[in-house]
Amino acid sequence: MADTNTKTLEMIFATESGKEVTVAVKDPKDGLTLAEVQAVMNTIIAKNVFSSTGGDLMSVKEAQIRQLAITELT
């Protein structure tokens, strides 16, 4: 097995009940800006694309790209 690197865009929203919901997208395109991601998040909220046990998504909390590197021990 070779070394692997993965990226995941995590969009974190606040719900009606004050809880957090994370929407994760694997392998986002390189060079994403905060403005681009926030625009998508605001569209998700405005169109009520997702619901959760904590109620509707109400606001953007944060966004981040998580990188994971796995190195096989040999």
29-65 confidence digits (pLDDT tens): 999 999 999 999 999 999 999 989 999 999 999 999 9
Tokens 């944060």 label which residue? 62
Which range of residues forms the domain containing residue 35? 4-70
Angle at 40 between CA 35 and CA 45, to 5 degrees: 120
What integer pLDDT is reported at residue 59 of this predicted model? 97
Q: Model confidence over 22-33: pLDDT tens digits?
A: 999 999 999 999
Q: What's the confidence (pLDDT) of residue 24?
A: 98
CA dihedral 16, 61, 35, 51 (to 10 degrees): -40
Instruction: Specify the number of domains making up the chain.
Output: 1
Give the pLDDT confidence score for residue 1 in this predicted structure.
58
- The pLDDT of residue 39 is 98
d(CA 56, CA 6): 30
What is the pTM assigned to this prediction? 0.87
